[in-house]
Amino acid sequence: MAAKMCPVPITVVARIQREYPGWFVMWSRYYQEFYAFPCFSVPKGTVLHHADPRQLVVQMFSVHKAAVQASRVAVGAAGGGMWRA
Sign of CA dihedral 54, 55, 56, 57: positive
Residue 2 pLDDT exceeds 50: yes
15-62 pLDDT per residue, tens? 999 999 999 999 999 999 999 999 999 999 999 999 999 999 999 999
11-21 pLDDT per residue, tens? 999 999 999 99
Sign of CA dihedral 63, 41, 82, 21: negative
pTM strictly above 0.85: no
Q: Where are the beta strands (DSSP E) in the chain?
A: 23-28, 33-38, 48-50
> Are the C-beta atoms of residues 57 and 50 closer than 8 Å to each other?
no
